[in-house]
Amino acid sequence: MINHYKVADHVFGIEAPESIFALLPNYAPFLIDETAESHVFILHVSDEPLPVSDGWEHVYTDRSDEDMPRIEMYKRPDEWLFLTSMWRDTAIECAMQCSVDWREATVYLHRNNARFAIDNAAMLLYAFATADQNTLLFHSSVTVLDGKAYMFLGHSGAGKSTHSRQWKAAFPEAELLNDDNPAVRIFATPRVYGTPWSGKTPCYKNESAPVHALVQLAQAPENKISQLRMSQAYPFVLSSVSGLKVLPDMMDRLYESIAKLLELTPVYRLECLPNTEAAQLCCDTINQQ
């Protein structure tokens, strides 16, 4: 069977045995009826043996963070192959084979990791297939307060989730929209959307809000905030966006989207302690501008 989902107004499909969907409650808020809208991709789920990389050209291996998956990327003239392990130095757990335009893919499951495999494949496809549609898939924790979204950026361990919790403590009416993988659409007013992917925090809301500010976080012995110029903000934002830096055409589209976002949205650097005073300083400074 095939289920159809709409995330940030982009439609995609997952085809799998009915039993698989019981393992994917994070997609339920985004489920739609069968639609005539164009799909950005269709992901087929297979329990056949994992493909191997023999005969493929190695393109790239991402193993930068110890607590993140390792992704190996290979190519042939008309398709891509991704081999993924759950952690940087563990054995390959799953694979995805897809067309060069990202619109058709098969994910191969292994052991008892169906949700990890499908989430990983769907996130990759979503980021790549929408890169030319003014869409950015971020690594960010997003808090909404008074109808405005504040996106907290930073490397793994920088305290993005902690800072969102401090906003909730400082402002009880604040709500978490997504804690790791929100999608941003670049309109006249950029808008951030919840997705089926939210890292270690289960937060799968089919909701959205206008982006009010981006905040780059850094741990520090005291709380201090400053607004960044575009040239300062650009590398922080680029490092927070999902994309394939080895593919120039894709990166050109992402560069264009990031530039548009920065023209429309202020970016701050917050050096902070994990306390409510940091949240209050951040909120007050942004809204005094």
| All domains in the chain, ordered by first residue | 2-130 (no CATH), 136-288 (3.90.228.20)
Average pLDDT over residues 145-163: 91
Average pLDDT score over the chain: 94
Model pTM?
0.95
- pLDDT value, residue 159: 84
Average pLDDT over residues 256-272: 97
**Calpha distance 49→108 (Å, rounded):** 7
C-beta separation of 57 from 74 below 8 A: yes
Give percent above pLDDT 90 in the chain.
Answer: 85
- pLDDT value, residue 87: 82
What tokens appear for 99 in the block? 């067309």
> Has residue 66 got a pLDDT over 80?
no
Tell me: the pLDDT tens digits for 225-254? 999 999 999 999 999 999 998 899 999 999
